[in-house]
Amino acid sequence: MKKIILFCSLSLLFSIATFAQTTEIWIVRHAEKDKTNPEDKDPNLSDEGKIRAGDLATFLQKTNFDVAFSTPYKRTHQTLDSLIIPKVINYNDPKSLVDSVKKNYAGKKVIIAGHSNTLLEIIEAFGAKRPMEMLTEDDYDYIFHLTLKDEKAKVKMDQFGRPHHL
């Protein structure tokens, strides 16, 4: 009888631990892009952007990511290049991105690289409050850290690298 009670107790604890996982998500805009050719729809990072990508790696150096999500543009991928990430997955649609993270990466550490016009939308799609009214085309130094636990989302906003607004 004691073995049955012990087994049931351990099973209950395991199921509680499984359901109460915390998923950590960092969301960042791509670093500064090269604007020398206005016709280029998929530019590389500028020299300043490459420095910022390195600053991002320094800021997150103690975080071991399980997966990264990036839009299919060079600048978002290059922003993540300085990080050590085992898998980078392209996304196009914020809703399917959120569904994929919730379904496949619960309890994991995830980083998402996107654009000024989608980051806040992604944060809201995860269920967190928008931490600021809007991001402008000149905002490159913000990073958002979301924690998801039991369908509750919290967000913290921080800055990294050289402040973009001097």
Give residue-wise pLDDT tens across range 86-139.
999 999 999 999 999 999 999 999 999 999 999 999 999 999 999 999 999 999
Neighbour tally for 115: CB within 10 Å: 16
Q: Per the domain annotation, does 112 fall within a domain?
A: yes
Q: Looking at residue 78, which CATH number applies to its domain? A: 3.40.50.1240
12 belongs to a structural domain: no
* pTM over the 0.85 mark: yes
Give the domain range for residue 155. 21-159
Give the other-Cβ count within 10 Å of 92's Cβ: 8
Residue 1 forms part of a structural domain: no
| Residues 32-35: contacts with CB under 8 Å, at least 24 apart | 32/140, 33/75
Quote the CA–CA distance of 48 and 157 in Å, as a whole number: 22
Q: What's the domain count of the chain?
A: 1
